[in-house]
């Protein structure tokens, strides 16, 4: 059976191989591609490289990507911060795939993340049988990255406790991990670095220490403000999901535009023409959420509808995405439908009618 989701280095192997074969720029030690080729991989190329089309993985500010790549070419770690759903993890994965050839060396930050997840643990069966030996050591993804000169990724750093966060300080400053049980110190190979992510909505949960912050270059990944740009991102990613999962039908372009317009207006608290203020819900109306709503609508239409995505499927998916746990979110969406969608024509009218039934109460 095929994998549900291939890592970036496998899914885009043809592109990475083509870029490597035609890359004549200098590469930092341990890098699979030069910084310029990494930029081309991330942002895409208008012309094929070696007969292979290089598709954009990130649609946004070119300067932001260049700063990320330049940081990683230095000895500084990279921290991607921003609202949930702004493609921080997506960008982290693709940068790691392009530079190191693997995006799999990942630590997921949670309240239960321990120092073992960052440094090393033990195979206790071997430890009891043999004592502390190299064979009994279980290296963390970060330690494996250090040994092989690859990039490690640390997702959601601020979800972990301050003591666990601070175990990164010596790794990032000294580029070493001590294993006292074996009487040895592992020094990072050239090419090692760390890409971390943090949500701005987690600020204050477990604030990073000043000492740890100094080890990172912070780059803010913004919410997409340009409507046309966000439509491009969402329709491309939704089509990729349908291909990957082999389910769903293509949604009409006009419904994609309605959805993204609604997201933009609810996020900003005002309609595009600036004439009507709307209540902003507490839910995160991110680009990732819009992709999910559109993809879910396409599945509903294929499996339970007419085979064509309509406002009915869009409304059903939208209400579940916007209305989470807060009663105010129900009020915000209901108010938007009454004051904005109701007065518009075409698919907006249909969306209003479909959502009205779902928002009763």
* Shared domain check, 326 and 266: yes
Q: Is position 278 within any domain?
A: yes
pLDDT tens for 154-203 read 999 999 999 999 999 999 999 999 999 999 999 999 999 999 999 887 76
Classify strands 184-187 and 176-179 as parallel, antiparallel or unpaired.
antiparallel
Q: Do both 65 and 197 map to the same domain? A: yes
Q: Taking the CA of residue 262 as centre, how many other CA atoms within 13 Å lie in the half-sphere pointing to its CB? A: 34
Q: Do 235 and 211 share a domain, yes or no?
A: no
| 191, 253: one domain | no
Contact status, residue 105 vs residue 144, Cβ threshold 8 Å: yes
Query: What's the pLDDT score for residue 172?
Result: 94
Question: Taking phi first (over 0 means left), then psi (-120 to 50 degrees means alpha), and beta for anything else, what does residue 175 get?
Answer: left
Tokens of 45: 């190329």
Q: 250 φ, ψ to 5°?
A: -65, 125
Residue 94 lies in a domain: yes
Return the sign of the alpha-carbon dihedral for residues 213, 214, 215, 219. Answer: positive
247 and 191 in a single domain? The answer is no
What is the Cα–Cα distance from 359 to 217, expressed in whole angstroms? 44
Q: How many domains does the chain have?
A: 2
Specify the pLDDT at position 361: 52
Q: Are residues 18 and 141 in the same domain?
A: yes
46 and 137 within one domain: yes
Instruction: Mark whether 210 and 244 lie in a shared domain.
Output: no
Mind giving me the DSSP string for 131-175? -S-TTTEEE-HHHHHHHHT-EEEEE-GGGS-HHHHTHHHHHHHH-
Residues 213 and 254 in one domain: no
Residue ranges of E strands in 235-304: none
Residue 3 lies in a domain: no
pLDDT at 41: 98
Q: How far apart are CA 38 and CA 58, in angstroms?
A: 12
CA triple 55-60-63, angle to 5 deg: 105
pLDDT at residue number 1:
62
Q: d(Cα 113, Cα 107) in Å, to the nearest integer?
A: 9
pLDDT tens-digit series, residues 230-269: 999 999 999 999 998 899 999 999 999 999 999 999 999 9
Query: Which of 220, 246, 265 marks a domain boundary?
Result: 220
pLDDT at position 203, please? Answer: 64
Q: In terms of domains, do 213 and 334 share one?
A: no
- In DSSP notation, 177-242 reads EEETTTTEEEEPPTT-EEEEEEEGGGTTTSPPPHHHHTTEEEEE-PPP--HHHHHHHHHHHHHHHH
Number of Cα atoms under 13 Å in the Cβ half of residue 208: 24
Q: Which burial class, exposed, middle or buried, applies to 349 when counting CB atoms under 10 A from its CB (0-12, 13-18, 19+)?
A: middle
User: How do 120-122 and 176-179 pair as beta strands?
Assistant: unpaired
| CATH of residue 99 | 3.40.50.300
Range of the domain at 272: 227-359
- Does 130 lie in the same domain as 72? yes
- Per-residue pLDDT, 329: 84
Question: What residue ranges of the chain have pLDDT lower than 70?
Answer: 1-3, 203-205, 324-325, 361
């Amino acid at each position: 059976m095929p994998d549900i989701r291939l890592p970036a280095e496998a899914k885009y192997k043809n592109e990475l191989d083509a870029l490597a074969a035609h890359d004549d720029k200098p590469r930092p030690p341990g890098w699979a591609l030069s910084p310029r080729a990494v930029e081309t991989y991330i942002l895409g190329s208008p012309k094929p490289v070696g007969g292979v089309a290089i598709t954009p993985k990130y649609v946004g500010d070119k300067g932001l990507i260049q700063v990320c790549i330049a940081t990683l070419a230095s000895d500084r770690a990279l921290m991607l911060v921003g609202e949930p759903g702004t493609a921080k993890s997506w960008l982290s994965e693709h940068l790691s795939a392009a530079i190191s050839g693997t995006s799999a060396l990942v630590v997921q930050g949670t309240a239960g993340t321990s120092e073992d997840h960052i440094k090393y643990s033990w195979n206790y069966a071997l430890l009891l049988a043999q004592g502390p030996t190299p064979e009994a050591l279980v290296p963390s993804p970060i330690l494996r990255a250090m040994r092989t000169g690859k990039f490690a990724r640390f997702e959601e750093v601020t979800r972990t406790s301050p003591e666990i966060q601070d175990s990164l300080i010596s790794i990032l400053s000294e580029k070493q991990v001590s294993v006292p049980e074996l009487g040895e110190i592992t020094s990072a190979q050239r090419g090692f670095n760390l890409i971390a992510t943090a949500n701005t909505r987690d600020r204050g949960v477990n604030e990073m220490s000043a000492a740890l912050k100094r080890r990172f270059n912070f780059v803010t990944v913004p919410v997409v403000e340009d409507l046309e740009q966000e439509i491009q991102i969402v329709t491309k990613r939704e089509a990729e999901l349908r291909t990957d999962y082999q389910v769903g039908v293509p949604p009409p372009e006009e419904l994609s535009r309605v959805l993204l317009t609604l997201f933009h207006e609810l996020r900003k608290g005002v309609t595009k023409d600036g004439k009507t203020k709307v209540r902003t819900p507490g839910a995160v109306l991110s680009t990732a959420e819009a992709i999910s709503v559109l993809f879910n609508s396409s599945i509903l239409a294929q499996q339970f509808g007419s085979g064509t995505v309509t406002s009915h499927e869009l409304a059903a998916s939208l209400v579940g995405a916007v209305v989470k746990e807060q009663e105010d979110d129900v009020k915000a969406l209901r108010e938007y439908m009454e004051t904005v969608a109701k007065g518009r024509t075409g698919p907006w009218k249909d969306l209003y009618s479909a959502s009205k039934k779902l928002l009763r109460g």
